C-alpha cells in the first residue's frame, strides 16, 4: 500500500503524464486548492486511462510513483457535484483503482440494428 493512513485525493480530470513532481504539485495547488507538501496522497490519471501518477510528501522530499497498466484502464470514481475536480477516497477504493478494477459497474449498452 502506497498511502496507508493518508487522505487520498483523486483528480477527476486527465493529466499529462509527462509532468514531474513540480508541475503535479502546482496542479494540487491550482485545481485542488491544497498544499502538495501536506501528509496526503494525490492521484492523477492520464488521458488514455492506462497511466497513473501518485504524488506525496514524506517529510523530507516529494515522492512520485508512476504506474502503467499492461492492459485495461484505471476507472475513476464519479464526481458527486458538477464543479468537483477531485474526490477524497478511502484506502479500499484506492486499492481497487490502483489495481485497475472498475469502481462503478459499467452499464451494458444494447446495439441498435437498422
Residue 12 included in any domain:
yes
19 assigned to some structural domain: yes
Rounded Cα distance, 15 and 43, in Å: 10
pTM of the model: 0.82
Nearest Cα to Cα of residue 55 among 77, 39, 76: 39
**Domain containing residue 69:** 8-98
b/e burial code for range 36-52 (CB count within 10 A of at least 16 → b):
beeebbbbbbbeeebbb
Residue 114 falls inside a structural domain: no
Whether 3 is in a domain gets the answer no
Give the pLDDT of residue 35.
96
Give which of 103, 4, 2, 101 is closest to 53, Cα–Cα.
2
Q: How many domains does the chain have?
A: 1
User: Residue 20's pLDDT is what?
Assistant: 95
pLDDT at 42: 96
Q: Which grid coordinates belong to 70? A: 499492461
**75 falls within a domain:** yes
Residue 112 within a domain: no
Residue ranges in the chain whose pLDDT is less than 50:
1
106 is a domain residue: no
Amino acid at each position: 500500500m502506497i498511502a496507508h493512513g493518508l487522505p487520498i485525493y483523486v483528480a477527476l480530470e486527465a493529466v499529462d503524464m509527462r509532468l514531474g513532481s513540480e508541475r503535479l504539485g502546482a496542479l494540487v495547488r491550482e485545481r485542488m486548492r491544497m498544499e502538495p507538501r501536506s501528509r496526503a496522497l494525490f492521484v492523477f490519471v492520464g488521458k488514455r486511462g492506462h497511466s497513473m501518477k501518485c504524488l506525496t510528501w514524506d517529510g523530507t522530499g516529494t515522492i512520485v510513483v508512476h504506474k502503467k497498466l499492461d492492459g485495461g484502464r484505471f476507472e475513476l470514481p464519479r464526481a458527486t457535484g458538477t464543479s468537483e475536480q477531485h474526490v477524497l477516497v478511502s484506502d479500499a477504493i484506492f486499492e481497487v483503482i490502483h489495481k485497475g478494477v472498475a469502481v462503478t459497474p459499467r452499464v451494458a449498452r444494447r446495439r441498435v440494428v437498422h
